[in-house]
Chain A
Amino acid sequence: MKKLVFLGAVALLCLLVAAALASAAQVVRQAPTAARPPVITRPPVIQVTQAPDPLRAKIKEALTKGPHFADGEVLPVYKLQAVLPDKARDQALELANRTLAGLGGGKSFAAADLAADDDYLAARNDRNLKLQVYTRSGFVSLANQERVFRGKCAPLSNAQAADIARKFAADGRLVSLLANEKLTLAEVKHVHTQAVDKTGRRSEALLNNVVVIMGRELGGRPVIGPGGRLVIFLSGAGEVAGFQRNWREVEAAPVDSVKVRGIDFAADQVMKDLAQLYGRRLPSVQALQIRRVEAGYFADGKHQAQRFLQPAYAVHFEVKSEKLLQVAHVSIIPAGDRLLEPLHVSPPVVKTMARPAAAPAGVPDRD
């Protein structure tokens, strides 16, 4: 028995010595080259190959089919000439007085005639020609208000209308173009009037105006957005009845360049816009209608001061809900890898009244 206890103690001692030796050997062992996996504190995300998001796929398909930039393409950024309020006013007066004879004539406009409201100036002459100027952007509009949005216009083909508009723009020196700029035909719209009487009978639609919307191309790229537009209203047999010029002059040499991002980036941004509008319940593929895709230099509206023409995507889309309530949006996406200025700055908003606490008689209490 004593012998057995002795042998057991020796064996235990041997085991302890072996364990101590093994432990010592471990200390001197080289650290593993592979990184230690992180401590898992939450269930791992199961990586599964998901079917591509059909909504994003639809957007991407529209971008692929429409005009787009190649990913990584380097594009120049152009600087716009500064718009000085006094100069913008004087140029607008000069342009208006130079062209008013062709639009209906009447008394020339003078600086003293212009009523001012912030950056907006307006005057009307004795022949109901209305001049509007926005001195922040240089926007000018001159319209014979006896003929724009009323009267009668002969049916003109788009080509005929565009020719008249081009001639008017050239004769009136409405825009100055650089060597790498081009005046393009963007769209032709129409103003119509019709009648429906109590029997439900409709009259023939009266064509009031043909509206020629001229666009602009810079370095082979279109200028997109409400800026870079020359809108010419035609009336009668094809006479010009008014025009709107939202056209910022650009400096000849590019001021910088940016690397542009491709359609994947643009599709992601449209998805983000949709998420902002619809939250987590994104519209179905059927509900989303993509109307138009554009890629070019973005020029903003008449109320905005702008210093640079930078590349951007514009995706026009419409969402129809289950009950057919619908709305159109446009996602305007800066395409460059950096921005020299924001594409747009919205004015601060929201100052509604609180509804009177004492609701008028007969109205249930508010929630």
Chain B
Amino acid sequence: MKVHRLPVLICVLCLLLPALAQGADVGVEGVKSFSNHNAALGEHLGTLSYTFNICNGVWNKLNSGTSLNFYFGRTDCWEVDLRDVAQGGLDSSLADNVDLFFLCTHGNNTGDRIYLAYDAAQTDWHSDSRRWKLGDRDLEWLALYACRTLPFPAIWDTCIRFFYGLHMVLGSHDSLYDSWTTEECGRDFAQNLRDGDLVSDAWLDGISDWWCDQNALVASAERYETYRSGDFDWPRTVMERDHYHGRGTVCGDTPNSQIYWFSYRWID
């Protein structure tokens, strides 16, 4: 019987190996035109001309080829993809079903919530982070190439509502650029992840071109143990330990109830 098990085991390993070697699952969404959104709401959102240049860069570098990976564009991007299942969303089969979810669209923060704009109302034109609950299934890193998702005063009130095992939000404290010199941001970010950089470094470096004023910011959920009454144990923080799967250390999830502080790093 043992003689027969070995080839089976080898076959199973052969099937799993490509997926293991490739690392994590990734979901990518990008909205370029907002004509439906503007027509419905009388708003005035401009086209993001380089959305797909940026998204393609992430997808081409990180798509691990498993059936969990997805890349949707235009009106196929829906706010329910990020919304918690308990709130009528689809996160457990999309955004929260991958390790990294990357979204490129218009964004903003109104003090305690991130707003993201969509060009299809499924079921809303905006995503509201108060309806997210991320990481309770899988998601580790939420990357938002969208403006002003995390201004400094809003970080605690915004993040504490949706970090449920999520490690990090990769976002911005002010505007990000939509221009031909920043079309490479997605590719550079993904390349850095593949190179084994820290996830936080990968974002800060990847979306900076040192000409346009990119206002990159990374925020991570941290535990009491690294707080040390304000004498932070930086080398043990999620910010300074988390790598992409298969490229280095990945911290364990921090349940919402155990988040003691958020660290955030930015360039200005």
Contacts and interface: CB of A to CB of B under 8 A. Distances in A.
Nearest to A324: B108
A148 B202 CA distance: 11
A330 B75 contact: no
A354 interface: yes
B175 A149 contact: no
A319 B99 CA distance: 33
A353 B73 CA distance: 7
Given A291-B213, A327-B147, A350 B56 contact: yes
Interface stretch (B2-10, B16-24, B47-55, B132-140): B47-55
Contacts of B191: 117, 120, 122
A323 B108 contact: yes
A205 to B, nearest CB: 9
**Number of chain A interface residues as a range:** 35 or more
A49 B75 CA distance: 43
B262 A196 contact: yes
A124 interface: yes
Contacts of B212: 226, 316, 328, 330
A352 B210 contact: no
A198 B254 CA distance: 14
A193 B71 CA distance: 32
A124 B122 contact: no
Interface residues of B, number: 82
B168 interface: no
Contact of A278 (B44, B50, B260): B44
Contacts of A197: 156, 227, 260-261
A351 interface: yes
A274 B180 CA distance: 15
A301 B196 contact: no
A283 B259 CA distance: 42
A244 interface: yes
The 6 closest A-B pairs by CB, nearest first: A352-B73, A355-B76, A328-B175, A277-B46, A197-B261, A226-B211
6 contacts: A189-B210, A226-B209, A328-B147, A328-B175, A330-B181, A364-B122
Given A191-B204, A364-B122, 4 more contacts: A117-B191, A300-B181, A332-B181, A360-B90
Interface of B: 30, 35, 38, 43-50, 52-53, 55-56, 70-76, 80, 88, 90, 93, 106-108, 110, 115, 117, 120, 122-123, 147-148, 152, 155-156, 160, 175-181, 183-184, 187, 191, 195-198, 200-201, 204-205, 209-213, 222, 227, 230, 232, 234, 239-240, 259-268
